[in-house]
A = this chain, B = another copy of it.
């Protein structure tokens, strides 16, 4: 099993996703600022994974903060949470995870727990979130597997796999579960410029599992659909608004339009921690703009003219009307999503 991230006494250990697929290297972040840097530089990426990474960063920073009392610890704890919250703006799991650590901290303080008890409980909490994330992926797989075709092809975009989570994956978890249930389709992996999560990460982890995968440039997805090679689309999410609008990796919106035009079902798989009922619709989701260099350079090689102007939004918003269903560990939401998501919220 791929160990995307794990807690160790030495720090949080990540597989370095910037060096895959040619090098499988693990890095240990020994301070919370190193964890924050790992999120910013995308050593770890994927909404569920960065949520748990942030929680572990909070636990690590709190463990190492110099404080004799909870009162001394509090301002440092706040500073640690702020630093981790400032890493990336779009995936709501990050804020959900930090919120959960804050709530836990507040409850521990309110019940008069010692600094040592607070420290160890926050570590346990982050480990618990890791375990819950894997369990949520497995449940998503069970809930979604039957939606995929038995043969033919399934398109995915970016990486919503084991590498985007604490294991098994969201969209790729659904694909894995379908395979475990006997399906034998081919996966088409959009390479997903500019960061190439599809060609570098999705192809790598599916090939490790022996699931047949074909890498295509993003601009080939339409032609594959036109040729009848794609029977369904399944991909992840970075934030799902209350009305079902989905922010996900740039290009998701294009894939959704292509799926609609070809009459192909379009599925989103995400843990409940990605659902943000406080955000009414996609227009309210902040979209991260990343460095122009991701577009103008690749592996140090310049591929655009000097001083070229670029856009580099890391995400786009797919309006809910393009989405066939949203697969979560709590169940499968279908239109109208405002109602079905509210129902799953319980």
| A131 CB–B CB distance under 8 Å | no
Judge whether A250 and B217 touch: CB under 8 Å. Answer: yes
Taking Cβ atoms with an 8 Å cutoff, the residues of A that contact B are 21-22, 157, 190-194, 196, 199-200, 203-204, 207, 212-224, 226, 250-251, 253-254, 257-258, 260-261, 295-296, 298-313, 316-317
Residues in B whose Cβ lies below 8 Å from that of A316:
220, 222-223, 226
Give every chain B residue within 8 A of A221 (Cβ-Cβ).
254
Asked whether, in the complex, the Cβ of B219 is within 8 Å of the Cβ of A309, the reply is: no
Do B254 and A219 have beta carbons less than 8 Å apart? yes
* Besides A21-B305, A204-B305, A218-B251, 20 new A-B residue pairs in contact (Cβ under 8 A), listed by A number: A191-B295, A193-B193, A194-B217, A200-B303, A203-B305, A203-B308, A213-B308, A213-B309, A215-B295, A215-B308, A215-B310, A219-B250, A220-B312, A222-B251, A222-B257, A223-B316, A298-B298, A298-B301, A298-B303, A299-B299
Q: Within the oligomer, what is the number of copies of this chain?
A: 2
* Contact A217 to B251, CB < 8 A, known contacts A199-B308, A298-B301: yes
Asked if A313 meets B251 with Cβ closer than 8 Å, knowing A215-B296, A218-B217, the reply is no
- Looking at chain A's contact residues, the main secondary structure is mixed
Residue of B nearest to A207 (CB): B305
User: Which residues in B have their C-beta under 8 angstroms from that of A295?
Assistant: 191, 199, 215-217
A192 x B220 contact (CB < 8 A): no
> What's the minimum C-beta distance from A196 to chain B, rounded to whole angstroms?
5
